[in-house]
Chain A
């Protein structure tokens, strides 16, 4: 694929070309361009923008379960909900948990995914596609079944503790102790997302031209030095995308704690998204909407910071 190589060297040329052409663009083209994006615009407007705007408006009301049949019957309380939510201990706890999920999960998943990609790209010569497929399988699996496995594996008398007992170790009550429960949920999430990281890094590695490696190995640079000094800087765009995708995924983490621990014990595994879902269940629509807007703002801020930090150096 000749196309793959264009991503490395040719970018600045494209940018300048585009800028030149932009000035030449005839007005008629703008209409055509809108036709091209029309399907996206329509679906985005109907199923994301309008619901999101509704949600934002509703965060300023006291909407509850009794208002569902008559949403115009709500009272405006403006920013009171934000005050309620941002001072609620269990919301703050779930925000802290989410930060922990992101803080540990994102680097861990990316490190494992990157090492696996390195091994598959340059370490071995046979059976690559087999390993690639196996490592990706958890990504496509149904989470409900996976969660049952996890729940069972880590119960008090479950297989993990039996295994530890064989080694002479008394295993903890994994799902009943706050720190270990968080660890178990993280482990499931890492298991489910490593494949995505690996595939993305693999694609990035494959788009680094062979000559770059050859030049470096002629210099006699050691393997890990080459990885750090050549490969990683060249992978910067990939790393940015993976960081953003993984951060978004971990910030919105919901199914894993919901299915494995239901947020417990003592709220130690509850994520913000799970908190939001619970508030819906309790009928606190205004809290739920407010919590999710706070979460969305958090996601956006983190993404913007990452874009700034990891932007390709000029």
Chain B
């Protein structure tokens, strides 16, 4: 390492710290705001620090009056089912699309790509009508159903599967294993990083989803956190800022923890998909 390197590296650290500060600054305001009263927002909206960090009222109100406890449970159920279903179904579809030639495969791949680009704001009315026909209105199943197999997940799994040498599968085939056996015993064990990637993407999508659960959930028993956050923060003729920001922290923490645990595999997973 010569001196030039050291100078350049220090410069980079400095630049990265600056970028990080820009990324985190808004969160600092959110985090501090979670401890403020509505009066503090009204009198000094730009204020930085709350009057007291011991003011946990916003969190208390969220979990007592606003029923965040049950919403949190619902959100966890919805997201857990979404992630599990996507890991299983997307890897199945990805495996077939990459490794099993069959008639209509090109068309299906086209469907995956189109589905990735659809503006869903346009489809929620017809989607809702179908959900009604299926009798899934006001159920957690109805909230989960459209998210069970996300096209991005299928795409990632298919890209990942492409990077697995055919020889591995061929060897198992010669040993007399059926396609399901190969999928379970050869393909699935290799999936680690891709599972992390799909888990994070699908968890994020279902955890933060708002419009769909809002429409499907007709009573509070099936509300999820983002819907609860909206009801808690939209007071009459104004916004309850403290509740909104405290709620945002509650919503953020589980995803943040998940990401911190999985981030290494997550990036490996994206790398391993080969991005072809």
Contact A55 B270 (CB under 8 A): no
Q: Which residue of A lies closest to B24 (CB)?
A: A134
Is residue A131 contacting chain B, with contact meaning CB distance below 8 A?
yes
What 0/1 pattern do residues 214 to 243 of B give for CB contact below 8 A with A? Answer: 000000000000100110010000010100
Tell whether A123 pairs with B251 under 8 Å between CB atoms, given A51-B130, A55-B126, A131-B20.
Answer: no
Residue of A nearest to B155 (CB): A241
Distance of B216 from chain A, by nearest CB (Å)? 12
Complex CA–CA separation, A195 to B20 (angstroms): 11
A293 to B114, CA, bound (A): 12
Tell me the nearest residue of chain A to B255, going by C-beta: A140
Among A17, A140, A153, A191, residue most surrounded by chain B Cβ atoms (within 10 Å): A140
Interface-located stretch among B51-59, B60-68, B72-80, B100-108 = B100-108
Task: State A127–B151 Cα separation when bound (angstroms).
Answer: 34
Interface of A is mostly: helix
Tell me whether A224 is interfacial, beta carbon within 8 Å.
no
Using known A-B contacts A135-B20, A143-B208, determine if residue A203 contacts B263 with beta carbons closer than 8 Å: no
Pairwise interchain contact B92-A1, C-beta atoms closer than 8 A: no
A-B pairs with beta carbons under 8 Å apart, 9 shown: A1-B272, A6-B165, A7-B163, A36-B95, A36-B179, A116-B16, A145-B245, A148-B241, A252-B121
Of the four ranges (under 10, 10 to 19, 20 to 34, 35 or more), the interface on chain B belongs to 35 or more
Interface set, chain B 157-175, CB cutoff 8 A to A = 162-166, 170
In the complex the two chains form, what is the Cα distance from A37 to B264 in whole Å? 29
- The verdict on A54 contacting chain B, using a C-beta distance below 8 Å, is yes
Quick one: closest A residue to B108, CB to CB? A37
Binary contact readout B83-112 vs A (1 if CB under 8 angstroms, 0 otherwise): 001000110110111001111010010011
Confirm or deny: B148 has a beta carbon within 8 angstroms of a beta carbon on chain A.
yes
Complex Cα distance A240/B8, Å?
30
Question: Is A132 engaged at the interface, CB distance under 8 Å to the other chain?
Answer: yes
B145 CB, nearest partner CB in chain A, Å: 7
Question: 1/0 contact trace for B9-42 toward A, CB 8 Å?
Answer: 1001101100110111011011000000000000
CB neighbours of B149 from chain A (8 A)? 39-40, 43-44
A33, chain B: closest CB distance, angstroms: 4
Residues of B252-268 contacting chain A, CB below 8 A: 252, 255-256, 259-260, 263-264, 266-268
In the bound complex, do residue A206 and residue B267 qualify as a contact, i.e. CB atoms below 8 Å apart?
A: yes
Indicate which residue in A119, A240, A241, A285 contacts B15 across the interface (CB closer than 8 Å).
A119
CB of B238, distance to nearest CB on chain A (Å): 12
Q: Chain B residues near A149 (CB, 8 Å)?
A: 26, 29-30
A254 within 8 A of B: yes
Give the chain B neighbours of A251 by CB distance below 8 A. Answer: 117
Task: Write out the residue numbers on chain B whose beta carbons fall within 8 Å of the beta carbon of A204.
Answer: 271, 275
Contact B162–A14 (Cβ < 8 Å): yes
